[in-house]
Structure 1
Amino acid sequence: MSRRSVRGMEERWSTEHILSLAPDAASQKAAGKLSSPAPWSQTGSGQGALWGQCRGSGSTPYRTVVELATPAYQCSCPSRKFPCKHALGLLLLWSTGPQAVAEGAEPASWAGEWLAGRRLRAEEAAERVTARATAVAADPAAARRRAERRSARVAAGTQELRLRLTDRIRRGLADGSATTTDWEEVAARMVDAQAPGLASLVRELAQQPADALADHALLHLLAAAYDRVGELPAPLAATVRSRIGFTTDSAELLAGPTVRDRWLVLGGRDSTDERLTTRRLWLHGTKTARPALLLSFGRPGQAPELAIPTGQLLEAEVAFQPAARPLRAALGPRHGLPTTPSGPAARPPGLSPAGALAAYGEAVADDPWLTSWPVVLTAVVPVAGPTGWQLSDGREALDLRPAGDAALWRLVAVCGGRPMTVFGECGHRGFAPVTVWDESGRPTGVAQ
């Protein structure tokens, strides 16, 4: 066991820390009912993990494992919430002390298999990066030919997409002839062309109003930009390639330059469709003042592996994907244990509504396909304006675009009419709140 694992096992998490991982208030309440020893059996902790069996409504207890470093979760229950109430309940039980969950035990066989599988996948990922680098070094001509073949397929795909969009505009956006099935066919063609980024954008376009001319134009601009990607400045070319679907593997990315900082977790949000669950976590570099966006994915029924509580401060290395305005990043080695600041130190520095719009404008100048940019607003209150709810500092205001009524009322309730610090995404459609800090500096997620 590494020294880091031993230290991690000694410092048990606070109740607030654990509940901040919950996907919603219902999960917090359900986890509280599972925080006593009564429903648990075969619990233990060791090798940086917790495990236990929780009695449920069926005859077979649910098997729950939590890997603490990431953290990551595995449970045999059918819940699609990540983490589920059993993982949260086990963490709450463990947080009460070693009398509840014994330390230093060997994992149960089923827990050990899952932990070993995680380690194996991490090792295999590192080996794949090494193997690719070795293959390129051994036969650079073959690697170049593979890259050229993909570039040719993507170019054919972008040309087809431009023709489809042009034909759509020629017929008129409001004629109703383009169905969801038609757009799915176009998306499938982009997948065949090895342009997954374009496929995702086409699917998003299918959900937009029929008169969303700007969205059609931006997608056409992206396809046209790839046709001239060799003529673009390097940062903009990297942005175009990234949005088309060319990405660098996280392990390969972390082998290059990284940014070491004390990163404050600003908030997170999960979105789910029939294909996968996507988790977005935003960080703020307290020394560099740089924002970073971490993405993690999970197949249906499986949790995205990355989970860091909002408000936590961790010293770590981060590697950014190449772009004109770098934002998406991979989380690398962490240095020391994370901390949770309190009081005024827990609130990140912020901007006025006018400053937030200016920051978004500067980002769009570098990347015209950005629909939003992460910003922190300071000393703002939610107010009911003539066209809907807004966040105002008394001089300027931003239109609110919360993820549903529940998010709006959660924000209003925490603020209580007092100026607050709010983190979210600022874009041309308004401000989508993610986290709000109350007067004590405690963060509350509003985006669930």
Structure 2
Amino acid sequence: MTQQGVRWTADQVLALAPDSTSRKAGSKLGSADPWSGTGSSREGAVWGVCEGSGGTPYRTAVDTAGGTGPAYRCSCPSRKFPCKHALGLLLLWSGGEGAAPAGRAPDWVEQWIAGRRRTQAEGEAGATAPGSGPVDPEAARRRAERRAERITAGATELEERLADLLRSGLATAEQSGYALWEETAARMVDAQAPGLASRVRELGALPGSGPDWPVRLLEECALLHLLDQGWLHRERLPEALAAAVRARVGLPTSPTGPPVRDHWLVLSQHDTQDPRLTTRRIWLYGTASGRTALLLSYGAAGRAPELTLPVGLALDAELSAHPGAGRQRVSLGEQFAPPVLNRARPPGMTTTEATARYGETLRQDPWQDSVPVTLDDVVPTPDGEAWQLADAEGDTALPLTPAAASRPGLWRLVALSGGAPVKVFGECGHRGFTPLTAWPSGPGEAVRLC
């Protein structure tokens, strides 16, 4: 990014924050007062020394041209990545050349970056070296067969649990409490079917969760039954649907097919958390291919994933698609240049077309919660106690999901619109539309909504 003379904006820097606490703390360190010895290099390094609460200042450096996104080094004891000092340093750097003047990096920065480059090169060489595949393919095949047998046993047991629930009546689900569902989910984990375990836990949260919960519980039970049957009869399914079943059950997948090189625009980045894992979803749009792709990155509970791509940047890179309906999930391959600021916008559609696209996707993957779409010329409008995105030139609208309507990003979207049409990227599903990024009707940068 610094190679092309482009610095990130403050919003792009704050998009890197692992949580709101870090965002607030990093903002306080975004001025020159606590910093000394700051600088930046044409190779993408930014560095500085920040005064701390103790007697020893913290050495902080960021490699903005890292192979899988920015990388951070700080002598502070924080376990968050990036820490508040890295965020403050990047905010200072985003303010202009004077805050972090160009120059030669100190030895401690050069040594760190040289080590990172060496490790990346060794990793790439190891991934492509002859003999890097399975040492014993026959043993790998036997392990896969044993796991499939365990999953089949788990799916069969789950079918019996669902049948028992329907025989005794859905009302008993509220009386049984969450313990029964957690026990069933643990059995699915033992069966090495984490996808089934996750859906069972979602079932356990539905009883007594609000109006019409029995209807929602029955719908989710039906989808879970369909997934069970899909696994038990997977040999009869078309390959794309069978791949979707394997992925939904929780089997790992590897990229297939040739990689696609493009300039990939970063449309959104947002995290979801559970007690065990932080999942980062990064949506990309190929400006030449017209493809929308999803990068997934994971971090341990309470820690942000390493891969970070701020909204509004574009990277010249190869992506390889995973099997499954739509082939939207991808893995990041070779990057040919550091990410750069890009003001391109993806083409959009109407709310009616977005709903039709989601319906078409369900034919290929009935368990798909949502699809990525960009809406053109929509206006956020209140609908009673809820909100919706209404077509400016039509009479149709998409309701926002309850979770989206309660986020601060909703008010950012309303302020950006001011009653005028805007372009919005997000996820459209059976619960409604979740806006993730928006652009004003005229010139302007992308605005992150999550």
Structure 1-normalised TM-score?
0.85
Q: Partner residue of 1:231? A: 236
Separation in 2 of the partners of 1:73 and 1:204?
A: 36
Aligned-partner SS, 2:296: strand
Contact 1:80/1:301 (8 A) holds in 2: no
Which deviates the most, 55-64 or 24-33?
Answer: 24-33
Separation in 2 of the partners of 1:382 and 1:317?
A: 36
1:160 aligns with 2:157: yes
Which one of the candidate residues 35, 60, 63 is aligned to 1:64? 60
Cα distance, 1:333–1:122 mapped onto 2, change above 3 Å: same
Cα distance, 1:61–1:131 mapped onto 2, change above 3 Å: farther
Q: Partner residue of 1:35? A: 30
Cα distance, 1:102–1:440 mapped onto 2, change above 3 Å: closer
Separation in 1 of the partners of 2:312 and 2:364?
A: 29
Which deviates the most, 81-90 or 431-440?
Answer: 81-90
Give a deviation string over 1:198-228, Cα, whole Å, max 9, x none.
2222223323345221111111211221111
Cα distance, 1:166–1:56 mapped onto 2, change above 3 Å: farther
1:290 aligns with 2:291: yes
Separation in 2 of the partners of 1:64 and 1:205?
A: 45
- What amino acid does structure 1 have at the position aligned with 2:53? S
1:339 aligns with 2:340: yes
What is the CA distance between 1:301 and its match in structure 2?
4.3
Cα distance, 1:189–1:367 mapped onto 2, change above 3 Å: same
Contact 1:423/1:436 (8 A) holds in 2: yes
Q: Partner residue of 1:91? A: 90
- Summarize the alignment of residues 101-112 of structure 1 with structure 2, pairs less than 5 Å apart: 103-106=103-106, 108=108
What is the CA distance between 1:308 and its match in structure 2?
1.2
Contact 1:263/1:315 (8 A) holds in 2: yes
Aligned-partner SS, 1:135: coil
Give a deviation string over 1:385-411, Cα, whole Å, max 9, x none.
256211101321001121624232221
Contact 1:44/1:105 (8 A) holds in 2: yes
What is the CA distance between 1:60 and its match in structure 2?
4.5
Separation in 1 of the partners of 2:163 and 2:107?
A: 59
Cα distance, 1:299–1:49 mapped onto 2, change above 3 Å: farther
Cα distance, 1:246–1:396 mapped onto 2, change above 3 Å: same
What is the CA distance between 1:76 and its match in structure 2?
5.9
Separation in 1 of the partners of 2:243 and 2:77?
A: 41
Give a deviation string over 1:39-68, Cα, whole Å, max 9, x none.
235656567544444223344544534232
Aligned-partner SS, 2:186: helix
Cα distance, 1:121–1:378 mapped onto 2, change above 3 Å: same
Separation in 1 of the partners of 2:121 and 2:300?
A: 17
Contact 1:258/1:317 (8 A) holds in 2: yes
Separation in 1 of the partners of 2:150 and 2:50?
A: 51
Separation in 2 of the partners of 1:336 and 1:158?
A: 46
- Summarize the alignment of residues 173-192 of structure 1 with structure 2, pairs less than 5 Å apart: 173-175=170-172, 176-192=174-190
Q: Partner residue of 1:444? A: 447
Structure 2-normalised TM-score?
0.84
Separation in 1 of the partners of 2:166 and 2:117?
A: 48
- Summarize the alignment of residues 324-403 of structure 1 with structure 2, pairs less than 5 Å apart: 324-342=325-343, 346-386=344-384, 388-393=386-391, 394-401=394-401, 402=404
Which deviates the most, 283-292 or 119-128?
Answer: 119-128
Q: Partner residue of 1:244? A: 249
Give a deviation string over 1:139-169, Cα, whole Å, max 9, x none.
4332221211111111111112222222223
Q: How many residues align?
A: 431
Cα distance, 1:33–1:135 mapped onto 2, change above 3 Å: closer
What is the CA distance between 1:107 and its match in structure 2?
5.0
1:422 aligns with 2:420: no
Give a deviation string over 1:300-352, Cα, whole Å, max 9, x none.
3432111112122222111111002211111111223433233xxx3321110
Structure 1 unaligned blocks of 5 or more: 1-6
Contact 1:351/1:377 (8 A) holds in 2: yes
Aligned-partner SS, 1:424: strand
Which deviates the most, 67-76 or 315-324?
Answer: 67-76
Q: Partner residue of 2:15? A: 21
Aligned-partner SS, 1:159: helix
Which deviates the most, 351-360 or 221-230?
Answer: 221-230
Which one of the candidate residues 168, 171, 179 is aligned to 1:171? 168
Contact 2:40/2:101 (8 A) holds in 1: yes
What is the CA distance between 1:359 and its match in structure 2?
0.8
Contact 2:155/2:228 (8 A) holds in 1: yes
Aligned-partner SS, 1:441: coil
Aligned-partner SS, 1:198: helix
Give a deviation string over 1:236-260, Cα, whole Å, max 9, x none.
11111111111235xxx38x52122
Structure 2 unaligned blocks of 5 or more: none
Contact 1:265/1:284 (8 A) holds in 2: yes
- What amino acid does structure 2 have at the position aligned with 1:236? L
- What amino acid does structure 2 have at the position aligned with 1:71? P
Cα distance, 1:155–1:423 mapped onto 2, change above 3 Å: same
Contact 2:13/2:90 (8 A) holds in 1: no
Separation in 1 of the partners of 2:313 and 2:260?
A: 18
Give me the identity figure in percent.
51
Contact 1:78/1:301 (8 A) holds in 2: no
Separation in 2 of the partners of 1:100 and 1:290?
A: 37
- Summarize the alignment of residues 249-288 of structure 1 with structure 2, pairs less than 5 Å apart: 249=254, 253=255, 256-288=257-289
Contact 1:266/1:423 (8 A) holds in 2: yes
Separation in 2 of the partners of 1:260 and 1:10?
A: 20
Contact 1:18/1:92 (8 A) holds in 2: no
Cα distance, 1:230–1:116 mapped onto 2, change above 3 Å: farther
The RMSD of aligned alpha carbons is 3.1
Separation in 1 of the partners of 2:352 and 2:168?
A: 39
Aligned-partner SS, 1:325: helix
What is the CA distance between 1:33 and its match in structure 2?
3.8
